[in-house]
């Protein structure tokens, strides 16, 4: 039977099978992460504020009718304050940051296949348990479950970077990595659309978690069957593709690199520039992913179904932007029109400063729903260039330690933004008014532009000197010889 599968699959490019499965992994990971934001708009009663109507948007007749038809019965609503909702949405990241570095260490030592797969599978299990945790523990039960989900999903990005470094040749790095990373966008689109449709036609919000969690568990079974740590372990890969990848990846990616040279890693200016750029990107993206549904529902008065459709639209725009810019980036680098460093920095300007500008414009348009959505769509289209710039930059700097570098950059940036952003938004938007949310978007703008400035000044798209095994071994030998010399001097004295 195995021989038959080999014959069937030998002519299929296994790096694209791998990329598709990694894409679907992030697709399901972000669907599980994002669906709560839409579901919560129907689990919690709307705010009745005494703030003057000059700072609030009126509800249209259609939206009022739609909202009335889909509002849950009062006994099914949860009286969670804006502060409590902020804690719930940020609690995922309390667990998320904890497993980044352990996940990177395990993936680099033993391979990324099971690290990545088990991380998503555990997240699926806790997603399926979410309705039960709310029934038993209310907001506290949900917070605990979200923390456990974060612990599972925290290993995904470090593990996926380890896998990409083993499978993707340099001349395909931007477009394949962007394709994989864009799984989070389409997963968010899926979560928003499906959640909106289910909640529009049913009061059973728990079915959202069962559907998305169940599909993620099915993905895990396929992942185990189809994907492997590297081309050398793959039983179905053609000899031509295995030899090609070995030749392309041999220069900077090695089978067993020495332990991470932490002293040099932590002193690297390009690495810290990448971390700060990721902080700006994650602050923008996670603010939109986590809290835009609330803004559209509470401020612009969108119905739950239209809320899901609009969120899906803007993430689709981001995906299209990422697709166009990633292919453009690889082409420009391949023909040597611009250096890798220049391409990454130009992409960061579009992804951070330019997109944040359109978010600010959207906040001053007021209650014109169509124009606001157009501005968010443009902003997210520009933000798509983050994937072939600040996201892929961790692979540029160090293919050998890509898991550790991603653990540092995404762990620090997503940890700070994921924990602080929902909490801050919950504190400063108690009445869900335009002026309160305008402050939220000004914070987003400030963080994004400052992060972009630092990346343009100190970022780099070339492999760092400490990536090479020879350097790490020489550095270790130098320390040992220095220690021996010191001991010899002490003995002579």
**What's the mean pLDDT in 132-143?**
94
- The reported pLDDT for the residue numbered 448 is 96
Report residue 85's pLDDT band, with 50, 70 and 90 as the boundaries: confident
| 6 CA to centre of own chain | 34
Q: Decide if pLDDT at 413 tops 90.
A: no
Q: Decide if pLDDT at 25 tops 70.
A: yes
Q: Decide if pLDDT at 320 tops 70.
A: yes
Classify domain 14-45+82-235 at the CATH topology level.
Answer: Growth Hormone; Chain: A; (1.20.1250)
**What's the mean pLDDT in 389-412?**
86
**What's the mean pLDDT in 244-264?**
75
| 262 CA to centre of own chain | 25
- The reported pLDDT for the residue numbered 196 is 83
**What's the mean pLDDT in 360-372?**
90
Q: Decide if pLDDT at 98 tops 70.
A: yes
Report residue 23's pLDDT band, with 50, 70 and 90 as the boundaries: very high
Q: Decide if pLDDT at 6 tops 70.
A: no
Q: Classify domain 264-485 by CATH number.
A: 1.20.1250.20
Out of 29-38, 69-78, 80-89, 322-331, least confident range: 69-78
Out of 109-123, 182-196, 260-274, 464-478, least confident range: 464-478
pLDDT digits (tens, 9 = 90+) for 280-293: 999 998 888 777 88
pLDDT digits (tens, 9 = 90+) for 293-307: 888 888 888 877 787
CA distance to 188, 198, 356, 455, per residue, from 212 (Å):
11, 12, 31, 36
Q: Which residues contact 329 (CB under 8 A, 6 or more apart)?
A: 174, 175, 343, 347, 388, 389
**Per-chain mean pLDDT for the chain:** 84
Q: What is the pTM of this model?
A: 0.78
Report residue 480's pLDDT band, with 50, 70 and 90 as the boundaries: very low
Higher pLDDT, 136 or 254: 136
Q: Are 167 and 179 in contact (CB under 8 A)?
A: no
- The reported pLDDT for the residue numbered 8 is 52
- The reported pLDDT for the residue numbered 341 is 93
Q: Decide if pLDDT at 472 tops 80.
A: no
- The reported pLDDT for the residue numbered 7 is 47
**What's the mean pLDDT in 157-171?**
88
Instruction: Determine how many CB atoms are found less than 10 A away from the CB of residue 428.
Output: 14
Rounded Cα–Cα distance for residues 319 and 126 (Å): 28
Residues above pLDDT 90, as percent of the chain? 42
**What's the mean pLDDT in 172-197?**
87
Q: Decide if pLDDT at 453 tops 90.
A: yes
Out of 3-12, 266-275, 320-329, least confident range: 3-12
Higher pLDDT, 337 or 203: 337
- The reported pLDDT for the residue numbered 479 is 53
| Phi/psi-derived region of residue 130, left when phi > 0, alpha when psi is between -120 and 50, beta in every other case | alpha
Q: Decide if pLDDT at 405 tops 70.
A: yes
Q: Decide if pLDDT at 125 tops 80.
A: yes
Outline which parts of the chain fall under CATH 1.20.1250.20.
14-45+82-235, 264-485
Q: Decide if pLDDT at 277 tops 60.
A: yes
């Amino acid at each position: 039977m195995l021989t038959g599968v080999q014959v069937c699959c030998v002519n299929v490019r296994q790096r694209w099978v791998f990329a598709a499965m990694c894409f679907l992994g992030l697709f399901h990971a972000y669907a599980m992460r994002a669906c709560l934001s839409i579901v919560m708009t129907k689990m919690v009663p709307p705010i009745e504020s005494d703030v003057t109507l000059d700072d609030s948007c009126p509800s249209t007749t259609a939206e009022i009718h739609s909202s009335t038809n889909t509002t849950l019965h009062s006994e099914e609503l949860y009286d969670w304050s804006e502060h409590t909702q902020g804690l719930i949405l940020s609690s995922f990241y309390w667990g998320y940051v904890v497993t980044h570095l352990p996940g990177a260490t395990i993936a680099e030592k033993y391979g990324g296949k099971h690290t990545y797969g088990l991380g998503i599978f555990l997240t699926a299990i806790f997603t399926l348990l979410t309705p039960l945790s709310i029934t038993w523990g209310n907001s506290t039960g949900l917070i605990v479950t979200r923390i456990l989900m974060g612990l599972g999903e925290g290993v995904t990005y470090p593990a996926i970077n380890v896998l990409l470094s083993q499978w993707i040749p340099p001349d395909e790095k931007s477009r394949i990595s962007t394709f994989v990373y864009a799984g989070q966008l389409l997963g968010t689109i899926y979560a928003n659309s499906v959640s909106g449709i289910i909640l529009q036609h049913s009061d059973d919000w728990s079915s959202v978690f069962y559907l998305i969690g169940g599909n993620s568990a099915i993905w895990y079974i396929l992942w185990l069957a189809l994907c492997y740590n590297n081309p050398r372990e793959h039983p179905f890969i053609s000899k031509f593709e295995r030899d090609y990848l070995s030749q392309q990846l041999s220069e900077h990616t090695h089978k067993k690199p020495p332990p991470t040279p932490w002293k040099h890693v932590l002193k690297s200016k390009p690495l810290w520039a990448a971390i700060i750029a990721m902080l700006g990107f994650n602050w923008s993206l996670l603010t939109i992913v986590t809290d835009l549904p609330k803004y559209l529902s509470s401020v612009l008065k969108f119905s739950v179904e239209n809320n899901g459709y609009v969120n899906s639209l803007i993430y689709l725009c981001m995906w299209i932007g990422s697709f166009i810019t990633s292919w453009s980036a690889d082409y420009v680098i391949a023909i040597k029109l611009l250096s890798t460093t220049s391409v990454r920095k130009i992409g960061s300007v579009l992804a951070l400063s330019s997109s944040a500008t359109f978010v600010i414009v959207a906040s001053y348009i007021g209650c014109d729903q169509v124009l606001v959505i157009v501005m968010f769509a443009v902003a997210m289209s520009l933000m798509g260039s983050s994937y072939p710039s600040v996201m892929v930059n961790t692979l540029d700097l160090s293919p050998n330690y890509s898991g550790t570098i991603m653990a540092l950059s995404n762990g620090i940036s997503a940890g700070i933004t994921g924990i602080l952003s929902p909490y801050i938004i919950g504190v400063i938007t108690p009445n869900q008014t335009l002026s309160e949310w305008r402050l939220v978007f000004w914070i987003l703008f400030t963080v994004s532009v400052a992060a972009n400035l630092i990346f343009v000044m100190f970022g780099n798209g070339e492999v760092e000197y400490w990536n090479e095994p020879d350097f790490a071994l020489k550095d270790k030998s130098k320390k040992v010889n220095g220690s021996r010399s010191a001991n010899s001097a002490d003995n002579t004295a």
